Amino acid sequence: MIKIVNLYKSFGNKVVLQGVDLEVYDGETITIIGGSGQGKTVLLKCIIGLLKPDKGKIFVDGVDITTVDKKMLRNIQKKFGYLFQSSALFDSMTVFENISFGLRHLRLTKEELQRRVKLYLSYVGLKDIEHLYPSELSGGMKKRVSLARTIAYNPQYILYDEPTTGLDPQMTEIITDLIISLQKKLNVTSIVVTHDIKSAIKVSQRIALLAEGKIVAIEPAENLLYSTNTIVQKFIKGET
Ligand SMILES: Nc1ncnc2c1ncn2[C@@H]1O[C@H](COP(=O)(O)OP(=O)(O)O)[C@@H](O)[C@H]1O
Ligand SMILES: [Mg+2]
């Protein structure tokens, strides 16, 4: 379980997070929605320990990652898969090399490695593209290869940063369905960050709205559109 308590983060005199409280339950998919520049990515980066908050606590399975040493932090980071906003594949590596990168410490045989890469690609609905380079892939395929690479690390938590932004409606649907099927198949706990309300309602059990540096509302996904919270209503109207 992840528990965030009273989290603050500023850059210079720009205050981004100012008192975020959030609990993420084991096995759920929770979506954080919010306007552009509200600090969604900053929050994800704090959760995974890529940014250090100014104040507040982040418990991952009971351990406060804001106070642990580097070695412990690295161990906790191994629990996480992070799907970056930009796909962040290694351009000079093939799809096979990109996905097997995270498995290199396991010292698997070539055959086993090939089998695993094939398996992870099948999870994201792709096959026979191991030899291709990222530049030869469409945006949607890059996203899916990145997701396959994330899964290869066998994460307990997957953080998705704007997984459908910039994709066409059909690919948005494919990625949305993938997030749902991965949660079922791998039994992971996921945090999705998006400003796409439709996809948020479909993938998640709960939806939290980040505004003015705080989580101002948390609703069961199916209730979001009927929320009586005025900030939620405003956000929905601004989006649709
Ligand atoms: N490393 C950084 N240095 C300075 N400002 C940053 C940094 N990262 C994010 N910010 C600022 O924090 C705010 C929130 O950014 P971000 O979390 O990326 O928003 P979003 O909700 O769109 O993901 C923005 O105003 C952004 O400019
Ligand atoms: Mg962002």
> What are the pLDDT digits (tens) for 111-133?
999 999 999 999 999 999 999 99
- Packed helices 169-186 and 139-152: angle between N→C axes, nearest 10 degrees: 10
CA of 161 to the centre of ligand 2 (A): 7
User: Phi-psi category of 162—alpha, beta or left, where left has phi over 0 and alpha has psi -120 to 50?
Assistant: left
pLDDT band at 104, cuts 50/70/90? confident
* pLDDT given at position 102: 81
- What is the percentage of the chain residues whose pLDDT exceeds 70? 99
Q: Is the CB of 192 under 6 A from ligand 1?
A: no
Beta sheet of 55-60, edge-to-edge order: 14-24, 2-11, 55-60, 63-64
| Whole-angstrom distance, CA of residue 26 vs CA of residue 124 | 23
Spell out a b/e string for 35-60, using b for 16 or more CB atoms within 10 Å of the CB, else e: eeebbbbbbbbbbbbebebbebebeb
Q: Is the pLDDT of residue 106 over 90?
A: no
Q: Is the pLDDT of residue 238 over 90?
A: no
Burial class of residue 23 (count of CB atoms within 10 Å of its CB; 0-12, 13-18, 19+): middle
Q: Which residue lies with its CA nearest to atom 8 of ligand 1?
A: 42
Q: Is the CB of 37 under 6 A from ligand 1?
A: yes
| Whole-angstrom distance, CA of residue 16 vs CA of residue 9 | 6
**CA 34 to ligand 1: nearest atom:** 21
pLDDT band at 239, cuts 50/70/90? low
CA of 37 to the centre of ligand 2 (A): 7
What domains can be seen in the chain, in order of their start residue? Answer: 2-79+157-239 (3.40.50.300), 87-154 (no CATH)
Over the stretch 176-203, which tens digit does the pLDDT of each residue have?
Answer: 999 999 998 899 999 999 988 989 999 9
Mean pLDDT rounded to a whole number for the chain: 93
The residue among 87 and 199 whose pLDDT is bigger is: 199
Q: Which residue lies with its CA nearest to atom 17 of ligand 1?
A: 39
CA of 17 to the centre of ligand 2 (A): 13
Please report which residue ranges of 92-193 form alpha helices under DSSP H.
95-100, 110-123, 139-152, 169-186
Q: Is the CB of 52 under 6 A from ligand 1?
A: no
Contact criterion met (CB below 8 Å) for 144 and 98: no
* pLDDT given at position 237: 87
**CA 38 to ligand 1: nearest atom:** 21
CA of 36 to the centre of ligand 1 (A): 9
Give the single-character DSSP code of 155: -
Contact criterion met (CB below 8 Å) for 83 and 163: yes
What's the whole-model pTM score?
Answer: 0.93
* pLDDT given at position 50: 94
CA of 207 to the centre of ligand 1 (A): 21
Q: If you average pLDDT over residues 126-145, what whole number do you get?
A: 94
What is the number of other CB atoms lying within 10 angstroms of the CB of residue 68?
15
Contacts of 27 (CB under 8 A, 6+ apart): 183, 187, 189
Q: CA 172: distance to chain centroid? A: 15
| Ramachandran angles phi, psi of 126, nearest 5° | -125, 150
* Protein residues within 5 Å, CB atom, of ion ligand 2: 40-41
Q: Which residue lies with its CA nearest to atom 19 of ligand 1?
A: 37
Q: If you average pLDDT over residues 153-166, what whole number do you get?
A: 92
Over the stretch 3-54, which tens digit does the pLDDT of each residue have?
Answer: 999 999 999 999 999 999 999 999 999 999 999 999 999 999 999 999 999 9
Q: Is the CB of 34 under 6 A from ligand 1?
A: yes
Q: Is the CB of 163 under 6 A from ligand 1?
A: no
